[in-house]
Amino acid sequence: MYEKARWLEQHADHFRKRMLNEPRGYPPMCCNILLPPTHPEAQAGYVIMEHVEYPGMSGSNTICVVTVLLETGILPMTEPVTDLVLEAPAGLIRVRAECSAGKVTRVTFRNVPAFAVHLDAMVEVPQLGSVRVDVAYGGMFYAIADATQFGLRLTPDEGRDIVRIGEMVKAAAREQLPVVHPEQPGFAGITISQLSGPAHDAAHHARNAVIVSTGTFDWDKPSTWTGSIDRSPCGTGTCAKMAVLHARGQLAVGQPFHHESVLGTVFTGEIVEETQLGGRRAIVPNLSGQGWITGFSQYVMDPTDPFQQGYTVGDIW
């Protein structure tokens, strides 16, 4: 599936642009292409598309893909539980879907191994100064920074500041802290940031805002310091955060981790076991959440359309 993602990126990127750019898409949107699996254990494969990259794995996208596969009948649903295996570009994803009355009520999947690369690393960020970050892989490489050092509570009204700070921290960390996956060199570099803070609900453990890039970052052009906040609690971001907490001795195997989004929605993570990845200490995380189908759309591409691959405009991008 990794090779399929690379082929789409190099030879058929018009699908991603057409679906995610305006007028069909908008900044926080993702797209998943369902494909036949290449691994004999998997029932379906999928390639995840975001605005500037093809991530190896995404938790919220996986939950959405499982929901669509089962609720639309692409794969058979068995109540009360459907077990299946999906093939993502990052590897096999084992899924347990709780189902009732034709609805997927909860999706739990075993993610690829997650691991911390840098703890408490200092990066120099123009305009912000010295910023302490953790870098971890949870399916993508994250730069994770404490939001309180910027005076942020991670609420929707802070969206503009969250995005600009997150993009600046990510760009600086990417330049100053190079990283490569020990077993898949195609996954290299920090491509996403996460601002982390205290939970707003006492029943949860932390709150996060993951910032997804929507363009090419240029230090000399502040107009490019834009992105969008993941509306979900972010599955791979939650796994990366758990890897950091475990590396610090703050999250044990089998201990639930309830992670809030800026909307107050929650993903629940749990470390299943410790493992090794290319000689590096890692964890195997489970993640649980729920998704909802909100509509069915039929899109049209007119050959006379001057914007066949869509467009972006600086008022929202």
Catalytic residue numbers read: 58
Do 135 and 144 contact (CB within 8 A), yes or no? yes
Q: How far apart are CA 152 and CA 154, in angstroms?
A: 6
Termini Cα distance of the chain: 30
Token match 């993702």: residue? Answer: 30
Half-sphere exposure in the Cβ direction for 72 (13 Å, CA):
12
Q: What one-letter code names the amino acid at 129?
A: G
Do 96 and 83 contact (CB within 8 A), yes or no? yes
Residues 6+ apart with CB under 8 A from 246: 116, 252, 253, 271, 274, 283
State the pairing for strand pair 256-260/206-213: parallel
Q: How far apart are CA 229 and CA 209, in angstroms?
A: 6
Calculate the alpha carbon distances from 63 to 55, 215, 289, 311 in Å: 15, 26, 7, 28
Q: How far apart are CA 140 and CA 163, in angstroms?
A: 18
Can you read off the two tokens belonging to residue 278? 């290319």
